[in-house]
Amino acid sequence: MDRRRFVALIGGALAAQLVLAQQARRVYRMAWPAVGSRPGLEHLIAALEQGLRDLGHVPGKDIVVEFRSAEGKRERYQEVLQEVVRSKPDVIVTATNDSTTALKVATQSIPIVMAVGTDVIAAGFAMSLAKPGGNITGITWDVGAGTAIKRLELLKEIAPRISRIAVYGESVFKDQYQAPIDAAGSVLGVRTFWHDFSGDPELDFAEMMRLRAEAVYVRAAGVIMNRRAEIIALAAKHRLPTSFPVSEFVVAGGLMSYGPSLAGSFRSAARHVDKILKGTKPGDIPIEQPTIIDLTINLKTAKALGLKIPQSVLLRADRVIE
């Protein structure tokens, strides 16, 4: 081998090693803009990071989760979103439709992974679940009217004497689920009336009590989640049995929940993040639906309300808080 060829080969090998070393040192940045403060979302951040670990990532080393919060001030949230976009992360994780909608307007190039998306096709986030197109993919929260109806049935089974139920929360799913929930209530012998979240839970509960609510069926979204302590305290004050779509409310003192695992959705979102970091376009990654529905019961709250949870319900529960 002549000297010139030898030097070229050595130079090429060194260059290849340098590229590999640079790739090995690559630290990806994943941004998460939120309205709420970090303490209330810490378990979801942990779930997302655990999902990344399960896929071989090391959060803090090869991928950094940059959590940015508006500290509960919705008027600051748009500013937070703009800060995230300007920072040009490798991928952005969102937890509500409002956040995804705002980011869809702000960027068509940065990949967006929804951990909790709702009615995603109608919202304009995807052309289809199988082939989203664009820069958005992730997990949809939509599990069909059957789950919503089953939650109503469980509430009636736990509190059989109730006859008037307030369906309370933001407008998410209202058009999709109002008719089947009202019809199911009629079959169960209960009257359901819908009350939209006004921004002031105390005023909302005063109005629901004026309308003679005997239980509250909460349809949750991001803002409701951030106000869960107030809502649960008001329900306890008025001695109202409560039903929620996620277990976080029950851990905080609500009576029962039936729905997909919120932490599970964030763990699942890590798979989408991993595929994007490996080069797959978000528009080519199918949007997933939850596959596990959890029933959580708070026995302490049931006792405070004078309710005895039927054994048949307890046997079905995935988690019982005592």
Segment 89-143, tens digit of pLDDT = 999 999 888 889 999 999 999 999 999 888 888 889 999 999 999 999 999 987 7
Are residues 175 and 131 part of one domain? no
Per the structure, how many domains does the chain have? 2
163 and 110, same domain (yes or no)? no
Q: Do 55 and 96 sit in the same domain of this protein?
A: yes
Same domain? For 252 and 269 the reply is no
Q: What is the pLDDT of residue 290?
A: 86
Starting from the edge strand earliest in sequence, which strands make up the sheet with 242-244, in order? 191-196, 164-169, 215-219, 242-244, 256-260, 293-298, 319-321
Give the structural domain span for 199. 145-261+293-321
Q: Is 95 helix (H, G, I), strand (E, B) or coil?
A: coil
CATH number of the domain to which 227 belongs: 3.40.50.2300
**In the predicted model, what is the mean pLDDT of the chain?**
90
* pLDDT tens figures, 220-234: 767 788 789 999 999
Instruction: Please give the model's pTM, rounded to 2 decimal places.
Output: 0.82
Residues 6+ apart with CB under 8 A from 12: none
Is residue 54 very low, low, confident or very high in pLDDT (cuts 50, 70, 90)?
very high
Specify the pLDDT at position 14.
Answer: 57
When comparing pLDDT for 76 and 226, which is higher? Answer: 76
Per-residue pLDDT at 202 exceeds 90: yes
Residue 296 β-bridge partners: 257, 319
Q: Is the pLDDT of residue 313 over 60?
A: yes
- As a whole number, mean pLDDT of residues 275-279 equals 96
Rounded Cα distance between 112 and 206, Å, is 39
What pLDDT does 3 receive?
Answer: 56
Is 57 found in the same domain as 38?
yes
pLDDT tens digits for range 149-199 = 999 999 999 999 999 999 998 876 677 789 999 999 999 999 999 999 998
Residue 47: which residues within 8 A CB-CB, separation 6 or more? Answer: 263, 264, 266, 267
Residue 6 is encoded by which pair of tokens? 């030898």
CA distance 69 to 71: 5
- 82 pLDDT band, cuts 50/70/90, is very high
Domain match, 280 and 246 both: no
Indicate whether 308 and 179 sit together in one domain: yes
